[in-house]
Copies of this chain bind each other. A is one copy, B any other.
Amino acid sequence: MQAIRQVCGTDPVPLHAPTFAGQEWAYVKDCLDSTFVSSVGAYVDRFEDELARFTGARHAVAVVNGTAALHVALLLAGVQRDDEVLLPALTFVATANAVHYCGATPHFVDSQKETLGMDPAALRDWLKHSSEQRDGVCINKQSGRPIRALLPMHTFGHPCDMAGLMEVAGEFRLTLVEDAAESLGSSYQGQQTGTLGKIGILSFNGNKTITTGGGGALLTNDTALARRAKHLTTTAKQAHRWEFEHDEIGFNYRLPNINAALGCAQLEQLPGFLASKRRLHDKYRDVLAGIPEVSLVSEPVGCHSNYWLQALMLGDQVASQRDKVLAATNAAGLMTRPVWNLMHRQRPYQHCPRAPLPVAEYLAQRLVNIPSSAGLA
């Protein structure tokens, strides 16, 4: 706690607070002055263009939040009722919920200690053992259901082993959808996360590296998919000067212009936020160097992490005291939290198929997030 205090100071400190030090006022006021605060307005287009430019994706489609982006990404990946989708047990509940919204079943797999993300080797072993190919479709031998997609998530902003996962996806014919909700600005071997799979998604929730209040986006290099993403997220209304013709069942998932205006201002500051978050990591590393019971989670080899949330890994000798650490720090006004309860332990997902999860269990006992705002460094 003293080490964290050395970095964060003595005032109460939240886990993650946004910084509004750029054009936020100007853009939001411009939006109000124009009265275009909703679906019509230039900031949505601009935000999409600038997201595409920053990430290197050919297309970005802005939506109302990361969960909505995930839902539509899975639909676009061909996930249908009674399919299964592979995802880490170690993730936020939105990843599993999005699978459920498609009428599909989450199928949980294990994580790696190095990346905190899906473990390609364990995944391959599991699929070899538990699935078979029928007519080019991966089938869960136990449930008989098609396993349609692979949905890795970049935990706290640290990129997964994407080369390994892309190899497994190809081998077992799974569509790769990237949950990059936490990792805007992270890169894997020089390529931005969210742009390595067929479709990727981002989140701009209030606790994320940049925020639009609530917001998200789909990223893809496939122009037809991007068009369909825009169509599905805007009630699937066909273009017409006045007729209301909807050619399929769509969603009201568009991002309001006022939220996009905030996003444009935030995106301009993203390089600065990323630099600050890296400095914060280095500060924590320095003050924690003398404490052998905990280690600081750092970016995997070959990756550049956005360091969205800084995390301590408790050593074996203190893992059993995780809740004491959480209670003491929170009581002292230093907001900390554990990683999410594993998905297969959540009531609605207890009966879903799953691989052995020894590493996820290990990590869930030991990971503690500490204050991570860009403004702290």
Q: Which residues of A are interface residues toward B (Cβ below 8 A)? A: 17-20, 24-25, 28-29, 32-33, 35-40, 64-68, 92-94, 97, 100, 103, 205-207, 211-214, 235, 237, 241-252, 254-259, 262, 326, 330, 336-338, 340-341, 346-348
Contact = CB atoms under 8 A, between A and B. Distances in A.
B338 A243 contact: yes
Contact of A256 (B92, B94, B248, B259): B259
- Copies of this chain present: 2
A255 B64 CA distance: 10
Contacts of A33: 20
Contacts of A255: 214
Contacts of A251: 67, 97
Contacts of A252: 65-68, 94, 97, 214
B207 A341 contact: no
A157 to B, nearest CB: 18
Contact of A29 (B25, B66, B250, B340): B25
B37 A257 contact: no
B241 A340 contact: no
Contact of A17 (B35, B207, B212): B35
Q: Which of A17, A97, A330 has the most CB of B within 10 A?
A: A97
A250 B206 contact: no
